[in-house]
Chains A and B, each alone.
Chain A
Amino acid sequence: MAKLNLEPNIASPDDFYEALIDMHRDLDEGASAKANAKLVLLLANHIGDLEVLREAMAIARGRA
């Protein structure tokens, strides 16, 4: 009953990846960690569904 979309969903994966790495340009480790945390919070709010978020967290932690 997975609700998390694990199929390819980003039209231009290379553009996305470049943007993600670009977001961290010239940031030191602390600032990068903060930027990542903000990104997670913003995207989590956009998704909203806690079930989806929990699934993603489980995969991210390596439990799935």
Chain B
Amino acid sequence: MLKTYVQPRYDYVRSPDQSAAAPAHHPVVIIGAGPVGLSAAIDFATRGVATVLLDEDDTVSVGSRAVCYAKRALEILDRLGCGDPVVERGISWNVGKVYFRDRLVYTFNLLPEPGHHRPAFVNLQQYHFEEMLLARLRALGRTDLRWMNKVVGVDARGDLVRLEVETPDGRYALTCDWLVVADGARSPVRHLMGLESKGQVFRDRFLIADVVMKAEFPTERWFWFDPPFHRNQSALLHRQADDVWRIDFQLGWDADPEEEKKPERVIPRIKAMLGDDREFELEWVSVYTFQCRRMERFRHGRVIFAGDAAHQVSPFGARGANSGIQDTDNLVWKLALVMAGKAPERLLDTYDEERVYAADENILNSTRSTDFITPKSGVSRVFRDAVLELAESYPFARRIVNSGRLSVPAVLHGSSLNTPDAPGDGFAGAMVPGTPAADAPVGREGKTGWFLASLGRGFDLVLFASQAPLTAAQADAIAALGRDPIPVATRIVVPQGGGLASAPPGCEVLEDVEGWLAKRYDARPGTCYLFRPDQHVAARWRALDAAKVRSAVARATCNDQAAPARAGRAPAHA
């Protein structure tokens, strides 16, 4: 059906588990091999944890669906080892334009400052994206991926989770210690467990058309309110790979979804938009409505929900797949520590705490965008149009225009895992505890690279040094932290042109080649930052003190109290 893409089919392979006398047991089972389930499986594999990944289908995404991958998601993919292929295959963009009727009212740049490895966004069809993640998963070789394995029963009442799985060869049972559910917005497993995702359904319909055409439009996001080619509604244009363009038309609630999908309805709309002369071919069409909703909790004992299964937003803002990938970024290191016996189970409650907070932020942004794009009353429409008219001439109104607040990661301000700044340390700038690490160019062994790429998979301490050699006390502290049960690896940042006469063994030295690192982190000699394995700031100080670093690591892993601060959750009674 698609003209630029041949849908791969993956073979169903019978697993030995299906012939086992008793249900086979696995530490971790992941349900759903979409962007979120695949990211989770890769993250586990990079940490040496073997998982079983079940998918009810035998292929990647049908149709392009998710398109825009945000900077933070790309940075997570870099950590997982598949950022490069996604960025190389995709279309990078930073600039968005907003039109009202026939006039450009507003241009915005989502990444105005240099010194970042990744762009604000990369557009790529979801099927390409999933194929790249699959390639990485196979290269790591630690995941037992089972196609055509549909979960039809979940029993999470006991000390382990029991699954009933349907295959072309019939049913079999499995057990696991931990179940990660990433089976999408409709989440069959959520339904099997009798759990709900609650929120708001928006009374509007949108037509998505992917078209193939040769066009030299700049790679920008173009959004129209009430354009001449589609009066009283909105439209959105995005470029994807392979000369495929995503066009999104608002249709209104009264539109008939089946009628609107017909080529004889779709093609005139596109011709009106592009002008009659341009040649294009229709690749894929879908009509959708959307919802903003979430589950009350994402963790239910040994069952943990991630991505659209746990929370859902409108597509304006690209906060769906991006937030799902961030879920796995938050979850996997925590689960790996719990499984290794290095952190108590309640560390997993902080996945719930932090990702529910992020989901609420995404839902709020998405809901506000939707209210601007789809005004719910006459007066709401009058204000919307007044904002757009003023925006052409007055900068204050441009900031009110909302065609989608594009995905940025949540800053986990109130997280219980953060160690607050000491009052006297006087940090300025954006990198408060709970913030995902900002990137910057760095010199490593004579080559220019990137700060985020130099962070590891565990806890990292980044110490900003002057040109002077480290003191003996600093070197001892660094060595001791590296030997802790939850080891802390140290990177030393030296100023531009600087170098250390001698770095402690195992300690990488990074040169702040353009000064962005010190600027972004408000650093001076002696400043150090502790990063969690998901690259969020856990704590920071003006001077290195091993005892303080240890207590911050303990806090960030829930190892700081003998007894739980909150009542531990009973195993889920699904």
Could you tell me if B386 and A34 are in contact, using CB atoms closer than 8 angstroms? Answer: yes
- B24-71 interface (Cβ within 8 A of A): none
Q: How far is the CB of A15 from chain B (nearest CB, A)?
A: 25
Is B397 an interface residue when CB atoms closer than 8 A count as contact? yes
Interface size on A, residues (CB 8 A): 9
Stretch in B94-102, B116-124, B283-291, B377-385 with 4+ CB within 8 Å of A: B377-385
Q: How far is the CB of A36 from chain B (nearest CB, A)?
A: 8
A41 to B387, CA, bound (A): 8
Could you tell me if B386 and A37 are in contact, using CB atoms closer than 8 angstroms? Answer: yes
Is A23 an interface residue when CB atoms closer than 8 A count as contact? no
A-side contacts of B394, CB under 8 Å: 42
Provide the A25-64 mask, 1 if CB < 8 A to any CB of B, else 0. 0000010011001101110010000000000000000000
Could you tell me if B382 and A45 are in contact, using CB atoms closer than 8 angstroms? Answer: no
B-side contacts of A30, CB under 8 Å: 382
Knowing A41-B397, A41-B400, A45-B396 touch, does A34 contact B390 (C-beta < 8 A)?
no
Interface size on B, residues (CB 8 A): 12
A-side contacts of B390, CB under 8 Å: 38, 41-42
Knowing A41-B397, A41-B400, A45-B396 touch, does A34 contact B387 (C-beta < 8 A)?
no
Is B360 an interface residue when CB atoms closer than 8 A count as contact? no
Looking across the interface, which residue of chain A has its beta carbon closest to that of B383? A37
B-side contacts of A33, CB under 8 Å: 379, 382
A37 to B394, CA, bound (A): 15
A37 to B400, CA, bound (A): 13
Q: How far is the CB of B376 from chain A (nearest CB, A)?
A: 15
A1 to B390, CA, bound (A): 33
Is B389 an interface residue when CB atoms closer than 8 A count as contact? yes
B-side contacts of A45, CB under 8 Å: 396-397
Could you tell me if B386 and A38 are in contact, using CB atoms closer than 8 angstroms? Answer: yes
Q: How far is the CB of B283 from chain A (nearest CB, A)?
A: 40
Looking across the interface, which residue of chain B has its beta carbon closest to that of A46? B396
A57 to B398, CA, bound (A): 22
A60 to B342, CA, bound (A): 58
A-side contacts of B385, CB under 8 Å: 34, 37
B-side contacts of A42, CB under 8 Å: 390, 394
Looking across the interface, which residue of chain B has its beta carbon closest to that of A30? B382
Provide the A5-30 mask, 1 if CB < 8 A to any CB of B, else 0. 00000000000000000000000001
Looking across the interface, which residue of chain A has its beta carbon closest to that of B396? A45
A40 to B383, CA, bound (A): 9
A-side contacts of B383, CB under 8 Å: 37, 40-41
Looking across the interface, which residue of chain B has its beta carbon closest to that of A33? B382
Could you tell me if A37 and B382 are in contact, using CB atoms closer than 8 angstroms? Answer: yes
A34 to B383, CA, bound (A): 7
Could you tell me if B379 and A38 are in contact, using CB atoms closer than 8 angstroms? Answer: no
Q: How far is the CB of A17 from chain B (nearest CB, A)?
A: 22
A30 to B382, CA, bound (A): 8
A38 to B389, CA, bound (A): 9
A60 to B239, CA, bound (A): 45
B-side contacts of A34, CB under 8 Å: 382, 385-386, 389
Provide the B360-384 mask, 1 if CB < 8 A to any CB of A, else 0. 0000000000000000000100110
A24 to B379, CA, bound (A): 17
Q: How far is the CB of B106 from chain A (nearest CB, A)?
A: 15
A-side contacts of B379, CB under 8 Å: 33, 37
A30 to B383, CA, bound (A): 12
Q: How far is the CB of B395 from chain A (nearest CB, A)?
A: 10
A49 to B394, CA, bound (A): 19
Q: How far is the CB of B87 from chain A (nearest CB, A)?
A: 39
A-side contacts of B389, CB under 8 Å: 34, 38
Interface centre among B379, B385, B386, B400 (most CB of A within 10 A): B386
Q: How far is the CB of A28 from chain B (nearest CB, A)?
A: 13
Q: How far is the CB of B399 from chain A (nearest CB, A)?
A: 9
B-side contacts of A38, CB under 8 Å: 386, 389-390
A34 to B382, CA, bound (A): 6
Q: How far is the CB of A6 from chain B (nearest CB, A)?
A: 24
Q: How far is the CB of A29 from chain B (nearest CB, A)?
A: 10
Looking across the interface, which residue of chain B has its beta carbon closest to that of A42? B390
A-side contacts of B397, CB under 8 Å: 41, 45
Q: How far is the CB of B388 from chain A (nearest CB, A)?
A: 11
A21 to B382, CA, bound (A): 19
A33 to B377, CA, bound (A): 13
A-side contacts of B386, CB under 8 Å: 34, 37-38, 41
A40 to B257, CA, bound (A): 38
A-side contacts of B400, CB under 8 Å: 41
Q: How far is the CB of A59 from chain B (nearest CB, A)?
A: 18
Top 9 A-B residue pairs of the complex, sorted by shortest distance between their CB atoms: A37-B386, A45-B396, A38-B386, A37-B383, A33-B382, A37-B382, A34-B386, A34-B382, A41-B386
Chain B residues at the A interface, C-beta cutoff of 8 Å: 379, 382-383, 385-387, 389-390, 394, 396-397, 400
Chain A residues at the B interface, C-beta cutoff of 8 Å: 30, 33-34, 37-38, 40-42, 45
Given contacts A37-B382, A41-B390, A41-B397, list 8 more A-B pairs with CB under 8 A: A30-B382, A33-B382, A34-B382, A34-B389, A37-B379, A37-B383, A37-B385, A41-B400
Q: Could you write out 17 A-B pairs with CB less than 8 Å apart?
A: A33-B379, A33-B382, A34-B386, A34-B389, A37-B379, A37-B383, A37-B386, A38-B386, A38-B390, A40-B383, A41-B383, A41-B386, A41-B390, A41-B397, A42-B390, A45-B396, A45-B397
